[in-house]
């Protein structure tokens, strides 16, 4: 049996350092009208005290490369969640890049073979890849996959929209992201 192709290594530290912090990313917005939507989402969110406390006490840095573009509805929903988490935990360091900025990186994180953002790639303090998230919570991705499987993606999207309406504080997103933070700071399996 032939060996699978070996993908080139990614210099995650370099990719991270090439990204923008949240405020600079907002300022360089591709669609300036989205700035207000992102700001509204950010101001409407808050973290539960236990989550904020956990993030504030992170023992070492967690780096996140966020592939995000402001024109995307899922980015508008989810980037402010990640930003709130970063504000609560000074060791959670996030940088934003575009798909075009690092196409080799983005191609590794397709969703079911398709382009979808945001993608949040979690890295340890040594810039070792520990996991990724996106473009939506796991439960919502499952709904979309079921919709594709049965030929009714429109119904699946309605169910996803209903979940978003019910979870205005994005607790499902926070829970998914916390799992990845916890993996990135772990010192033992």
Map out the domains of the chain as residue ranges: 12-135+170-185
Residue-level pLDDT at 22: 96
| Residues in CB range of 183: below 8 A, 6 or more apart | 122, 130, 131
Residue 7: its H or E element = none
- pLDDT(189) > 90: no
Place of tokens 């998914």: 176
CATH 3.20.20.140 corresponds to the domain 12-135+170-185 = no
- Work out the percent of the chain whose per-residue pLDDT is above 90: 83
Residue 102's pLDDT band, with cuts at 50, 70 and 90, is very high
- Interhelix angle 33-44/73-88, nearest 10 degrees: 50
- The per-residue pLDDT of the chain, averaged, comes to 94
Residue pair 100/92 in contact (Cβ under 8 Å)? The answer is no
CA torsion 122-125-25-171 (nearest 10°) is 50
Residue pair 80/41 in contact (Cβ under 8 Å)? The answer is yes
Q: Where are the beta strands (DSSP E) in 50-133?
A: 62-67, 92-97, 119-123, 129-133
Q: How far apart are CA 34 and CA 47, in angstroms?
A: 23
- State the Cα angle at 158 between 75 and 163, rounded to 5°: 65
- pLDDT(133) > 80: yes
């Amino acid at each position: 049996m032939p060996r699978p192709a070996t993908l080139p290594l990614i210099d995650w530290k370099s990719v991270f350092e090439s990204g923008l912090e949240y405020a600079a990313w907002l300022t360089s917005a591709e669609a300036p009208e989205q700035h207000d939507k992102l700001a509204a989402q950010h101001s409407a969110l808050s973290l539960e005290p236990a989550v904020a406390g956990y993030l504030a006490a992170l023992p070492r840095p967690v780096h996140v490369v966020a592939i995000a573009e402001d024109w995307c509805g899922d980015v508008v929903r989810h980037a402010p969640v990640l930003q709130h988490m970063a504000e609560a935990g000074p060791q959670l360091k996030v940088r934003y890049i575009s798909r075009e900025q690092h196409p080799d990186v983005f191609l590794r994180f397709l969703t079911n073979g398709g382009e979808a953002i945001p993608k949040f790639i979690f890295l340890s303090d040594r810039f070792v890849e520990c996991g990724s998230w996106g473009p939506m919570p796991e439960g919502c991705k499952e709904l979309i996959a079921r919709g594709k499987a049965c030929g009714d993606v429109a119904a699946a999207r309605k169910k996803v929209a209903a979940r978003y309406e019910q979870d205005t504080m994005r607790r499902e997103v926070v829970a998914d992201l916390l799992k990845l933070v916890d993996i990135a700071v772990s010192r033992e399996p």
